[in-house]
């Protein structure tokens, strides 16, 4: 569906009236008449008049006015919340790409920190875990001291229980 708009500024030398309802005289076929809108406007706003008068009376002026109206309508539609799906899709794609980028950075950082921490604790050559296990199981190590202390206390505890009965 191609919608065209004819905008005419009445001129004294025009061959036909600016209000002529015949679409054939406006450069459109009668099939397009349902998709066309004829607008006969007078502008009094100084800025609008100055901008329009900057273009000589010709097809260029008409095209300029058509473009200005199209831009204005699109701006109003967006202001009213009628954002086209392409804009939403593009913004969504941009946000997802940014999120993917952030997650990839976080993943790399997490992998680096976690790898360093695991190496610090579990490296077989100089890791803290290996060092701690060595301190526990070596001769006169922490585990042996705890077991020896419990074994020394066991006869005393057993003797107390037997004498209590």
Following DSSP, what letter does each residue of 103-152 receive, concatenated?
Answer: HHHHHHHHHHHHHHHHHHHH-TTT-HHHHHHHHHHSTT-HHHHHHHHHHH
pLDDT over 50 at 50, yes or no: yes
Tell whether pTM > 0.75.
no
- When pLDDT is cut at 50, 70 and 90, the band that residue 102 belongs to is very high
What are the tokens at 24?
């054939």
Please state the φ and ψ torsions of residue 7, each to the nearest 5 degrees. Answer: -125, 125
Element spanning 64, H or E: helix 59-79
Q: Please state, in angstroms and rounded to a whole number, the distance separating the CA atoms of residues 68 and 83.
A: 19
Q: Are strands 4-7 and 36-39 parallel, antiparallel or unpaired?
A: parallel
What are the tokens at 108?
């790399």
159 vs 117, residue with greater confidence: 117
pLDDT over 60 at 4, yes or no: no
Give me Rg for the CA atoms of the chain: 44
CB-based contact 13:74 (threshold 8 Å): no
Give pLDDT, residue 33.
Answer: 60
Beta bridge partners of 38: 6
- When pLDDT is cut at 50, 70 and 90, the band that residue 85 belongs to is confident
């Amino acid at each position: 569906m191609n919608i065209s708009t004819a905008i005419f500024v009445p001129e004294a030398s025009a061959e036909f009236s600016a209000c002529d309802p015949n679409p054939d005289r406006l450069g459109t076929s009668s099939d397009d008449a349902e998709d066309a809108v004829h607008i006969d406007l007078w502008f009094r706003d100084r800025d609008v008049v100055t901008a329009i008068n900057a273009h000589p009376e010709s097809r260029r002026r008409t095209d300029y006015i058509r473009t200005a109206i199209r831009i204005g309508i699109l701006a109003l539609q967006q202001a009213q919340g009628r954002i086209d799906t392409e804009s939403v899709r593009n913004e969504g794609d941009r946000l997802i790409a940014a999120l993917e980028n952030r997650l990839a950075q976080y993943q790399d950082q997490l992998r680096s920190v976690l790898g360093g921490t695991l190496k610090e604790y579990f490296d077989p050559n100089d890791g803290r875990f290996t060092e701690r296990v060595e301190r526990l199981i070596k001769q006169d190590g922490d585990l042996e001291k705890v077991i020896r202390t419990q074994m020394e206390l066991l006869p005393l505890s057993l003797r107390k229980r037997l004498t209590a009965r």
